Amino acid sequence: MDRPRILCVSFSDIRSDARVLRQLEVLARHGEVTTLSYGDRPDSASDHLSIPADLPSLPQTLFGVVRLALRRFASVAMEAPAVKAARDLLLGREFDIVVANEARALPLAFEVAGSPKVWCDLHEWAPAERTHVLSWRLLVAPFMTWVCAQYLPRVDAATTVNTSIAQMYEQQFGVHCDIVRNAVAYRPDLRPTPPGECIRLVHSGGAVPGRNLEAIIDAVDLLGDGYTLDLYLVQSRQAESYWKQLVARIASSPRTRLHAAVTPEELPATLNPHDLGVYALPPHTPNHRLMLPNKFFDFVQARLGFVFGPSVETDRLIMENGLGVIATGYKASDLADAIRGLTAEQIKGFKSATDAVALRLSSEADVLMEEQILSRLTAAEA
C-alpha cells in the first residue's frame, strides 16, 4: 500500500524553525513528506518546494493593502506574493494530507489538489501576532480574524501551543485545538553544572524588534562584575537594520558576548554550561502575555535556572516546579534586581529542579499527540 502523500506548508525557513522541524520528524513516519517553505529542503522531507526568500507571505502589495483597508478579504486571501508563488509550485501535484503551519497558510491549504485532509498547527493566537505594530493592527489583524473564521471550522485537526490559547480559539472560532507545546526532546545525557564564581546568564532566540533583548544586555551591565551574558541569536530575514543596531549595542557591553546561532538539536548542550536562562518579553500582545516559547523548554533540557518576566503560562510552570524567579517587570532594573539577590546555592537548587522535571517537560507528550492526529488522518484516507 502506498504511503500517504503529505504536504507541510510553512512560511518560514523550516531548517531554523524548531517547532516545524519536530513536526516533520513525526510526519515522515506516516508518509512521504513534501515541504513548501522558504529556504532549502529540511532533512526529514522527501521533496521540497522552495519559495523565493524575498516574497512576503501577506498581501503587502499596493493592490493587497487597498483591499485589506476595504475589508475585501476574500479577494486577497490568495494574493500574497509568497502564496501566489506557492500555488504555482503546487501545479500538477496532489496530496492526501496538508499540514498548514499558522493560519496564514490556510487559504492555500484548501486549494491543494487531491481533496486532502487539513491539519492546521496554530503556533500562537493568529489575530494578534503583531498587533503592537500599527499597520498590522489596522490592516492585517482583521484579515487574520477573517481567515480563522472562514477556514478553521473546516479543518480536520487543529493544534496550538497551550491551554490558554486553545480556549481562545474555541471561544471565538468554535474550533477545538489539541495541545502541542514547543517542548524539545528529552536529553538524558545532560546534567546541571555547578555555578562558579562568575554567574553565567544566557539567552537564545530570534533577533527580532520588540523581544526586549536590550533590557537583558543592560541588566548584565547593571549587575557589574561577577556576571556575564551569552547570546545565541537567529538573525531575522526582515530585520537587517535592527540586527546591525543590536550588534553595535552588544559590542558596547563589556560583559556580553554574541555567538553564532546553533541548530535546535545542539542548543541544550550549548546552553548547559550556563547558570540562568533570562527572558523578559513585555505583554504587548495576547501572544506575549500567554507565551510558552521554545526557549523555555530549551532552558529546561539545558538544566538552567530561570529568570523570566511575568507571563501567565511561564509563571505557573516556574512557580509550580521551583525552576527560578519571576522579575517584577520587564525593565533592565527589574531583571538585575531579581538576579542580584540570588545566591549560588539558590541557583544550584533551580538547576536541580529543572533536572527533576526535564522528562515531564520534554516533547514526549507532544509527539504522542501528533502521532494520534496523523494516525487518525491517515486512517481516514485509507
- What is the predicted pLDDT for the residue at 1? 57
Instruction: Evaluate if residue 40 carries a pLDDT over 90.
Output: yes
Instruction: Evaluate if residue 37 carries a pLDDT over 80.
Output: yes
For the chain, what percentages of helix, strand and coil (3-state, to nearest 5) are there? Answer: 45, 20, 35
Give the SS3 label for residue 160: strand
Give per-residue pLDDT as tens, 150-172. 999 999 999 999 999 999 999 99
Three-state SS string across 196-211, please?
A: CCCEEEEEEEEECCCC
Distance of CA 340 to the CA centre of its chain: 30
Instruction: Evaluate if residue 382 carries a pLDDT over 70.
Output: no
Q: Where are the beta strands (DSSP E) in 186-345?
A: 199-207, 227-235, 256-259, 276-279, 305-308, 324-326
358 forms beta bridges with: none
Query: Band of the pLDDT at 195, cuts 50, 70, 90?
Result: very high
Distance CA 63, CA 314 (A): 41
CATH no. for 199-357: 3.40.50.2000
- What is the predicted pLDDT for the residue at 130? 79
CB distance 294 to 313 below 8 Å:
no
Query: Band of the pLDDT at 16, cuts 50, 70, 90?
Result: confident
The candidate with the shortest Cα–Cα distance to 202, out of 132, 114, 267, 137, is 267
Give per-residue pLDDT as tens, 43-79. 999 999 999 999 999 998 888 899 999 999 999 999 9
- What is the predicted pLDDT for the residue at 237? 66
Give the SS3 label for residue 38: strand
The candidate with the shortest Cα–Cα distance to 4, out of 148, 159, 156, 176, is 156
DSSP strand pairing (47-51 vs 97-101): unpaired
Distance CA 155, CA 323 (A): 37
Global pTM value: 0.88
Give per-residue pLDDT as tens, 199-255. 999 999 988 888 999 999 999 999 999 999 999 998 876 678 899 999 999 999 999
113 forms beta bridges with: 94
Distance CA 273, CA 279 (A): 18
CB distance 339 to 308 below 8 Å:
no
Reading across the β-sheet that carries 276-279, which strands appear in turn? 256-259, 227-235, 199-207, 276-279, 305-308, 324-326
Instruction: Evaluate if residue 111 carries a pLDDT over 60.
Output: yes
Q: How far apart are the first and last CA of the chain?
A: 9
Per the listing, cell 501576532 goes with: 129
Instruction: Evaluate if residue 373 carries a pLDDT over 90.
Output: yes
Give the mean pLDDT of the chain. Answer: 94
Number of helices and strands (H, E) in the chain?
Answer: 16, 13
Query: Band of the pLDDT at 135, cuts 50, 70, 90?
Result: confident
Distance CA 311, CA 90 (A): 40
- What is the predicted pLDDT for the residue at 31? 95
Average pLDDT over residues 359-375: 95
Residue scoring higher pLDDT (2 or 322) = 322
DSSP strand pairing (97-101 vs 117-122): parallel
Q: Which fold has domain 5-181+363-381?
A: Rossmann fold (3.40.50)
Distance CA 109, CA 7 (A): 9
Instruction: Evaluate if residue 380 carries a pLDDT over 80.
Output: no
- What is the predicted pLDDT for the residue at 134? 81
Number of other CB atoms surrounding residue 72 within 10 Å: 12
Query: Band of the pLDDT at 269, cuts 50, 70, 90?
Result: very high
For CATH 3.40.50.2000, list the domain ranges present in the chain: 5-181+363-381, 199-357
